[in-house]
Homo-oligomer: A and B are copies of this chain.
Amino acid sequence: MANWVSVTRTAHFNAAHRLHVAEWTSEKNREFFGLCNNPNYHGHNYELHVTVSGPLDSVSGYLLDMKTLKDWIEEDVERAFDHRNLNLDTEEFRNLNPTAENMAVVIWEKLKKRLQPDMKLKIKLFETPRNFVEFDGTQS
């Protein structure tokens, strides 16, 4: 029996992107994504909240070392996406539309591999200060 706690570390990166579905016509893309389909790209400051949940270690008083979590985020997310063009400069979004929703799923999949199996992970990604998405691995 242990106390189940969550710890959250925030991070920040900025990138250019263009929302575009390759299987659709230019017209449908323009209509569906509006200004976000601009062929010359636009960009965002992405604010990321990474939440890990699991059993609190009663000796150290830690769930996991936040500095380690910070390093994982730097390696898996910041080095991969910061100051990049998501569509052109990254493997992850070469064939995947870089919506905030897809970005949250991709970041979840990368960081989940870092965690011990009894830990849970939740990603919250702000695309602007007024819009954010969340993903915690749930399937429907």
Contact = CB atoms under 8 A, between A and B. Distances in A.
Contacts of A133: 5-8, 63
A65 B56 CA distance: 32
How many copies the complex holds: the figure is: 6
Contacts of A44: 14, 43-45
Most chain-B Cβ atoms within 10 A of its Cβ — which of A3, A36, A139?
A3
Interface residues of A, number: 69
Given A40-B88, A43-B41, A134 B8 contact: yes
Interface of A: 1-10, 12, 14-17, 19, 21, 23, 32, 34-36, 38, 40-45, 47, 51, 54-56, 59-63, 65-67, 82-85, 88-89, 96-102, 104-105, 118, 128-135, 138-140
